């Protein structure tokens, strides 16, 4: 029997609230029945960015930002219900990731801002949130969580790699042995769009490098690339995860410190793009032939071109397997919410390093 459930994602790019109404059947994702992406206001985004590091009055500011985000989420969910002529009783619930402002599994915490009580009250729906904490306290990294969903939507196309390029990039390597489909490895490879967007906004007054056109015009600085790629995160063994608390403007400035003003701004954009491409490519198995890419980075054609050139793999959009690249993360958290509501434990031991299968997410009933 077909059922419906919402998923909500605000990623490390902090650019939009993505809401997917996912159709599921027998616990499996079938298709996106509806989707809406609402840009995050400049003021709210600036608040999120300011909360990535220590500052004054953090507790109140984080709670006010959480309330504003949650009211926006509720408004979008209600508008989708209305335009599909649905009542809350026709939907199982909502999986809300929340906006990550801190992620430190080594210290046993991660913070995703949202107020599930507000969302539940405003939509009259059950809300599942805080997906990452249980994995962390069970010994895992709390990220990435999407690989199990990647496996679900790509079974018919295995073996392959699913590459998600958001603010942070992560890969899911999916193997096929006769009829057995399994995840060989999955982890955050490092920066996706985050450093590219930061540099582009600061130096070209643009929110992002549209299609990678600026990077394509520049010249790669191999000395800077080598300096950046020497960062210990890239040689660290998986399972591993990262975020904007690590790869940020301070990180760029430290890497540029020894170069002073020697490097042209456009050449730095080129080099940062190459860093993202190289850090992804070095983790793609040599026997891989096809990479399916999703997330905002799928629209950076120059970045995709560089990944294809370095890996010698065919790099295709997840459109090719029936899923819009922009929808996948929101759909993933709808599916994860379904698993929580069904009291299903998920095995992330080979992905996050969790010591045992766990039920992810806290449930707020209406």
The phi-psi region of residue 221 (left if phi > 0; otherwise alpha if psi is between -120 and 50; otherwise beta) is beta
Task: Please give the Cα distance from 27 to 338 (Å, whole number).
Answer: 7
Distance of CA 306 to the CA centre of its chain: 21
Residue 221 binned pLDDT confidence (cut-offs 50, 70, 90)? very high
Residue 134: its H or E element = helix 133-137
Per-residue pLDDT tens over the stretch 138-171: 999 999 999 999 999 999 999 999 999 999 999 9
Same fold for the pair 2-142+327-364 and 147-321: yes
Specify the CATH class of 147-321 in words: alpha beta
Task: Please give the Cα distance from 261 to 57 (Å, whole number).
Answer: 36
Say how many C-beta atoms besides its own lie within 10 A of residue 347's C-beta. Answer: 12
Per-residue pLDDT tens over the stretch 162-173: 999 999 999 999
pLDDT > 80? residue 44: yes
To which residue do tokens 């790509």 refer? 154
The domain locations on the chain are 2-142+327-364, 147-321
C-alpha distances out from residue 74 to 2, 36, 41, 209, 348, Å = 24, 12, 16, 31, 30
Note the CATH architecture for domain 2-142+327-364.
Answer: 2-Layer Sandwich (3.30)
The phi-psi region of residue 126 (left if phi > 0; otherwise alpha if psi is between -120 and 50; otherwise beta) is beta
Residue 350 binned pLDDT confidence (cut-offs 50, 70, 90)? very high
DSSP state letter for 298: G
Per-residue pLDDT tens over the stretch 273-299: 999 999 999 999 999 999 999 999 999
> Which residues in 108-179 belong to E strands, given as ranges?
109-113, 127-129, 160-165, 168-177
To which residue do tokens 């993505």 refer? 18
Per-residue pLDDT tens over the stretch 83-134: 999 999 999 999 999 999 999 999 999 999 999 999 999 999 999 999 999 9
pLDDT > 90? residue 259: no
Q: Token pair for residue 134?
A: 């249980």
β-sheet bridge partners, residue 358: 346
- Residue 145 has a pLDDT of 97
pLDDT > 90? residue 183: yes
Query: Rounded to the nearest 10 degrees, what angle do helices 194-204 and 249-256 cross at?
Result: 80
Task: Please give the Cα distance from 5 to 24 (Å, whole number).
Answer: 8
Mean pLDDT over each residue of the chain, to the nearest integer? 96
């Amino acid at each position: 029997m077909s059922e419906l459930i919402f998923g909500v994602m605000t990623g490390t790019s902090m650019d939009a609230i993505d809401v997917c109404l996912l159709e599921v059947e027998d616990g499996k994702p079938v298709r996106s029945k509806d989707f809406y992406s609402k840009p995050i206001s400049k003021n709210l985004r600036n608040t999120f960015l300011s909360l990535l590091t220590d500052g004054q009055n953090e507790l109140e500011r984080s709670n006010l930002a959480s309330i504003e985000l949650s009211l926006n989420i509720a408004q979008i969910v209600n508008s989708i219900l209305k335009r599909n002529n649905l009542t809350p009783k026709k939907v199982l619930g909502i999986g809300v990731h929340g906006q990550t402002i801190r992620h430190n599994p080594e210290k046993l915490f991660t913070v995703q801002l949202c107020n599930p009580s507000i969302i539940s009250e405003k939509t009259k729906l059950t809300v599942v949130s805080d997906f990452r904490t249980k994995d962390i306290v069970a010994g895992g990294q709390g990220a990435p969580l999407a690989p199990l969903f990647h496996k679900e939507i790509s079974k018919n196309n295995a073996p392959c790699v699913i590459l998600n390029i958001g603010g942070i990039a992560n890969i899911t390597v999916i193997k096929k042995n006769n009829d057995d489909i399994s995840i060989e490895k999955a982890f955050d490879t490092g920066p996706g769009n985050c450093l590219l967007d930061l540099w582009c906004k600061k130096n070209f007054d643009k929110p992002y490098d549209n299609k990678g056109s600026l990077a394509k015009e520049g010249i790669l600085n191999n000395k800077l690339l080598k300096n950046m790629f020497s960062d210990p995160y890239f040689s660290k063994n998986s399972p591993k995860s990262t975020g904007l608390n690590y790869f940020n403007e301070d990180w760029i400035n430290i890497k540029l410190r020894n170069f002073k003003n020697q490097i042209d701004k456009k050449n730095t954009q080129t080099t940062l793009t190459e860093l993202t491409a190289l850090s992804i490519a070095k983790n793609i198995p040599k026997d891989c032939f096809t990479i399916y890419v999703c997330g905002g980075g799928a629209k950076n054609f120059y970045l995709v071109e560089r990944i294809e050139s370095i890996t010698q793999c065919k790099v295709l959009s997840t459109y090719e397997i029936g899923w819009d690249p922009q929808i996948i993360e929101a759909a993933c958290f709808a599916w994860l919410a379904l698993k929580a509501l069904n009291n299903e434990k998920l095995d992330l031991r080979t992905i996050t390093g969790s010591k045992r299968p766990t039920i992810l997410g806290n449930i707020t009933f209406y």
